Amino acid sequence: MMLLNKHDIDEDYVDFIENEEFSGRFLSEYIADTQRVYLSDKRPWVIGYSGGKDSSAVMALVYLALLGLKPEDRHKPVFVVASDTLVETPIVVNHVNNSLEAIERGAKRDKLPITSHKVVPKTNETFWANLLGKGYPAPTRSFRWCTERMKIDPVSSFITDKVSQYDEVIVVLGSRSQESASRAQVIAKHKIDGTVLAKHTTLSNAFIYTPIDMWHVDDVWKILRLCHLKSEETPSGIRNKWFDKYELEWENPWGGKNLILWNLYKDSSGQGECPMVIDETTPSCGNSRFGCWTCTVVTKDRAMESLVQNGEEWMKPLLDLRNKLAETTIIEDKGKYRSHIRRDGRMAFKTLTIDGKKEMTEGYTYGPYLLSFRQQFLKELLETQKQLSEVSKEIELITVPELHAVRHEWLNDPNEPDWEDTLPKIFNEVFGFDLDWSVDDTNQFSHEEAVLLNEISPKYAVAPQMIKKLIDLETSLSGLSRRTGIFNKIGRLVQQDWESAEEIIEKNLESRQNQMRQSKEVISIAEELEQLNKLLEKEGL
């Protein structure tokens, strides 16, 4: 099947499209396949666009396919959706924003049914709302809490909205089997027999289409750069080499060249990229220039280190902040940064299975970041934002809505309520002015009351945090005609582990010793009863 509408295709593309091979097939064949899938039904397309090489390649393929159709055949919408976690690498944010604008401009010019969209996480689910607000520890391989909240949920909400509008949608991804074997296996597992589509792993009425699934990385760069792939003899054999001659670069079908994109990948570790995340099977974006600058899933962010070394020195403060977060994940240092109490108010003891029974040990898992650490890190984050603005880098590292969300979490923290309302003070200390802080968010107590409680509580052998939470509870329920369940709420607060880690461990040991002592007494009594039963049986009673 040839292109149906050649006059809409730039002449520079035509020969390339019809004669250039991509993994053993001509590009024209891939375009024809894409056209067939597009024309086969009325389901709209959602293209997952991260701005990286693979999603840019699939975007170019789809754009060329639509250009090759007659205007009357471009019958259904194509939504290009990019996910912004609000902690993306800044230079990538600019690249993605510019690319989305260029795609939409080109689509309007060429009368294509393409629109671009950005999705972001809910304010209370952003990276800083969770890490600085709730005290969630920096993500690790074993606790990657960020992906679902910041990437999967926003994209899923967009897809779900389109499903409710159109009944079914097709999600077009730039996934390649060579790039991610595990991702390829998942898609293959959900493949629908007799079609090129796969079922979405979690969303009903959403289907996956991966038109460049079999492409090699050279094929990707070939459609993005065309004229600079040359074969050269090297000591390791014949190798393809790319040359940076911007004037020879061909343009994207929507306009704009890809040397900027190429430079983002130059010298990066393995040219890794963060794909559009649609479910939990998508691999981690660690070491990727198209991931989050705050990512601590990997030990070192070699991609950001490479950017700093290759001319982006202004990003060094971001790398320093990221490394500080990474230090808090070191096992032996966790106690410096994190509470021994979890957000449910209890210390979580580790257990061992002995003779089929779980036995508590003296070890425990750490809870959220201490409020003192969160306060200090927020100050450094704001100072870095101010520092970048002074070198003409107007980057919002944390948004104003996020600051309000963090403040709300601090004021209502389950373990360390911030009676002093320190966030507005930290902001003013850094920037020298105040935001419009909502009076409704502030509590009725201040530094003076907090100091007084801290002084008085030890005299009565109670934790000041517990008294603060009890007062907060009373305040929240005051004025209500019915205060249902107040005693249960008070009981739960009083029963939380408010003591120090050492005191709780000692109390736990005493409790276990008492249990063991009681168990021995029960066993002894049971043995005596058994002896008495035997004597009674002998006597015939």
User: In terms of residues, how long is the chain?
Assistant: 541
**Is the per-residue pLDDT at 267 higher than 70?**
no
pLDDT digits (tens, 9 = 90+) for 371-380: 999 999 999 9
- Write out the residue range of the structural domain in which residue 479 sits: 337-502
CB 115 within 8 A of CB 104: yes
Tell me: do 498 and 349 sit in the same domain.
yes
Residue 243 falls within a domain, yes or no? no
Which range has the worst mean pLDDT, 2-11, 73-82, 141-150?
Answer: 2-11
Residue 163 falls within a domain, yes or no? yes
Residue 520 falls within a domain, yes or no? no
- Higher-pLDDT residue of 487 and 28 is 28
- Structure confidence at residue 438 (pLDDT): 79
**Is the per-residue pLDDT at 504 higher than 80?**
no
Residue 188 falls within a domain, yes or no? yes
- Structure confidence at residue 1 (pLDDT): 45
- Interaxial angle between packed helices 371-389 and 400-411, expressed in degrees from 0 to 180 and rounded to the nearest 10: 160
Which range has the worst mean pLDDT, 218-222, 234-238, 468-472, 481-485?
Answer: 481-485
- Structure confidence at residue 353 (pLDDT): 66
- CATH, residue 32: 3.40.50.620
Q: Residues 132-137: what's their mean pLDDT?
A: 96
Residue 279 falls within a domain, yes or no? no
Q: Residues 325-345: what's their mean pLDDT?
A: 89
pLDDT digits (tens, 9 = 90+) for 43-82: 999 999 999 899 999 999 999 999 999 999 999 999 999 9
- Structure confidence at residue 58 (pLDDT): 96
- Higher-pLDDT residue of 516 and 44 is 44
User: Model confidence at 524, in pLDDT bands (50, 70, 90)?
Assistant: low
If one counts the domains in the chain, the total is 2
- Structure confidence at residue 277 (pLDDT): 45
- Structure confidence at residue 284 (pLDDT): 46
User: Model confidence at 268, in pLDDT bands (50, 70, 90)?
Assistant: low
- Structure confidence at residue 271 (pLDDT): 43
Range among 1-10, 47-56, 387-396 with highest mean pLDDT value: 47-56
Range among 102-106, 185-189, 507-511 with highest mean pLDDT value: 102-106
Tell me: do 357 and 219 sit in the same domain.
no
Chosen domain end from 209, 227, 245: 227
Tell me: do 88 and 217 sit in the same domain.
yes
Residue 265 falls within a domain, yes or no? no
**Is the per-residue pLDDT at 103 higher than 50?**
yes
Gap between the Cα atoms of 128 and 94, Å rounded: 21
φ, ψ (nearest 5 deg) of residue 42: -105, 5
Residue 523 falls within a domain, yes or no? no
pLDDT digits (tens, 9 = 90+) for 437-496: 876 544 566 777 778 888 888 888 788 888 888 887 877 777 677 767 778 888 777 777
Which range has the worst mean pLDDT, 126-140, 180-194, 477-491?
Answer: 180-194
pTM of structure: 0.79
Gap between the Cα atoms of 201 and 327, Å rounded: 35
Residue 298 falls within a domain, yes or no? no
Tell me: do 199 and 72 sit in the same domain.
yes
Which uninterrupted H or E stretch holds 174?
Answer: none
Q: Which two tokens stand for residue 337?
A: 């940064």
> Up-side HSE of residue 300: CA atoms within 13 Å toward CB?
6
> Up-side HSE of residue 449: CA atoms within 13 Å toward CB?
14
Q: Residues 78-107: what's their mean pLDDT?
A: 93
Residue 108 identity (one-letter amino acid)? K
- Structure confidence at residue 251 (pLDDT): 82
Chosen domain end from 202, 227, 252: 227
- Higher-pLDDT residue of 244 and 429 is 429
**Is the per-residue pLDDT at 7 higher than 60?**
no
User: Model confidence at 177, in pLDDT bands (50, 70, 90)?
Assistant: confident
Residue 31 identity (one-letter amino acid)? I
For the chain, what percent of residues have pLDDT higher than 70?
78
**What does DSSP assign to residue 458?**
G
Range among 30-34, 229-233, 283-287, 311-315 with highest mean pLDDT value: 30-34
- Structure confidence at residue 518 (pLDDT): 54
Tell me: do 206 and 342 sit in the same domain.
no
Q: Where are the beta strands (DSSP E) in 174-294?
A: 197-199, 206-209, 229-234, 237-242
